[in-house]
Amino acid sequence: MVELSAFSRRKFLLTASASAAASIVLKGCVGNPPDTTTATQASPVVEAGSGVQAGSEPEVTTAKLGYIPILEAAPLIVAKEKGFFAKYGMPDVQVDKQANWGAARDNVKIGSGGGGIDGGQWQMPMPYLITEGIITDDAKVPMYILAQLNTHGNGIAIAGEHKGKNIGLKLQGKESFFAQLKSAGTRFKAANTFPRVNQDFWIRYWVAAGGIDPDQDVEMLTVPAAQTFADMKIGAMDAFSTGDPWPYRIVAENVGFMAALTAEIWKNHPEEYLAMRQDWVDKNPNATKALLKGVMEAQQWCDDFSNRQELAAILAKREYIGVAEAILRDPLMGKYNMGEGRTVDDRSMAPLYWKDERGSVSYPYKSHDLWFLTESVRWGFLPKNTLDNAQTWIDRVNREDLWKEAAQEMGIASADIPTSTSRGIETFFDGIKFDPENPQAYLNSLKIKKA
């Protein structure tokens, strides 16, 4: 273990003051109105290295984390921008924007040593698929899931040409709409941002709950998150599912409307995760916990709604999401104009990072990993016998134990540290229940499935 020298402590402090100064300048640039309280207050300076406990100094001060320009990435970006990684002794963490999910996968496969990344933001069950070489040309790259980044903040956008056809959360009675498109040779096209993970699952769950078979009645395609808006504008798709701000921007710029928020499909659902290469974590156990502490403190900061205007300003910057701040502000406050006259105004439906109505958002429940694997079986993405050994696989990939250690070390109240690795029974908008004790019963209860 390396003692932090007076020199490196001083370096941390200098880095922190430099970034604090930079964020004050940027606040001026983004044009926050001077009469609001948040705009006139300087960002609180977090003292670099102040969260490092003697004996648990990180082995390294850097890690390369990939992210996709959607609201899910907020905890990683905020941990960097607000100095939370530096606070826990990781001042040199890089957050690197990935062109798309395929690029993130390729970059984690080569690792930072090969010019790629050590880990970062993932849809599920990507860390499982990468661990087993299923989406990496058989090259097994073992990964660990460390935390959940967020819940909510995703939606299903529909092209403007379908306005007035009553396409909403519930599709019952819409069979003929899909059938007509199919018989005309123009099957309903729905885009995800990477096949066989979250966004694909949300579209599939939504249509199947309405009696529409996603493999028969819908044509699924894959489009990078930041490209979805432009592609829908030129008529390349009827629907897409992705993280905010892209579905909301469809409404804000009058290109279409939103059929549903994922928060409506499954309230407090698991969304995206922080996962790292296993070799990086095993080599750097203290640095892993330092990353986790930085992310957790960022998640708490993000969930303070008085910080959300500043959060919008940070995320709007060109190097991050790169959209007008106004497009980010409303979804972050739980305010959604869905188009077609429907609005949602409910903070419990907003993207949440630290806590939701079910408890911890940040803690990576193993029962949620099991749902993602079960849903993969449902659609034939993973073989049926996956469920026989799912628990072993989950125990190998999900490191909720490290989350708990990090939480305890940073003094998180014990009431905020889950005692079970299962969140218990989950309920979807159509009344279907997932009991992690019996995933087969869930599969049996679903009418449309491949398995």
- Which parts of this chain interact with Ca ion (CB under 5 A)? 154, 243
Classify strands 256-261 and 143-148 as parallel, antiparallel or unpaired.
unpaired
Min dist CB 251 to Ca ion, Å, is 18
**3-state secondary structure string across 136-164:** CCCCCCCEEEEEECCECCEEEEEEHHHCC
Contact predicate 119/274, CB 8 Å: yes
Q: How far is the CB of 244 from Ca ion (least distance, A)?
A: 9
How many Å apart are CA 448 and CA 440, to the nearest integer? 14
Please answer whether residues 4 and 56 qualify as being in contact, where contact means their C-beta atoms are separated by less than 8 angstroms: no
Rounded to the nearest whole angstrom, what is the least distance from the CB of residue 277 to Ca ion in the complex? 21
C-beta of 223: minimal distance to Ca ion in Å?
Answer: 13
Q: Closest CB to Ca ion among 89 and 243?
A: 243
Q: How far is the CB of 248 from Ca ion (least distance, A)?
A: 13
Q: Which residue has the tokens 């990684």?
A: 85
Nearer to Ca ion among residue 107 and residue 154 (C-beta): 154
Q: Which amino acid is at 365?
A: Y
CA-based R_g, the chain, Å? 22
- Give the nearest distance from C-beta 305 to Ca ion in angstroms: 21
Nearer to Ca ion, 103 or 179 (CB): 103
- Residue placing its CB nearer to Ca ion in the complex, 154 or 288: 154
Q: Indicate the residue among 154 and 307 with the shorter CB distance to Ca ion.
A: 154
CB neighbours of 40 closer than 8 A, spacing ≥ 6? 34
How far apart CA 353 and CA 356 sit, in angstroms, is: 8
Ramachandran quadrant class, 431 (left: phi over 0; alpha: psi -120 to 50; beta: rest):
left
Q: Find the shortest distance in angstroms from Cβ 450 to Ca ion.
A: 23
Tell me how far apart the alpha carbons of residues 120 and 68 are, in angstroms, rounded to a whole number: 9
Other beta carbons within 10 angstroms of residue 449's beta carbon come to 17
- Shortest gap between Cβ of 72 and Ca ion (angstroms)? 5
Tokens 């599969």 locate to 443
Our CB check for Ca ion shows the closer of 69 and 243 to be: 243
DSSP 186-216: -PEEEEESSTTSHHHHHHHHHHHHTT--TTT
Helix (H) or strand (E) holding 121: strand 119-122
Shortest Cβ distance from residue 97 to Ca ion (Å)? 15
Helix (H, G, I), strand (E, B) or coil at 236: coil
Q: Which residue is nearest to Ca ion (CB)?
A: 243
3-state DSSP percent of the chain in helix, strand and coil, to 5? 45, 15, 40
Give the nearer residue to Ca ion in terms of CB position, either 145 or 412. Answer: 145
| Residue among 49 and 351 whose Cβ is closer to Ca ion | 351
CA distance 240 to 276: 28
Nearer to Ca ion, 154 or 362 (CB): 154
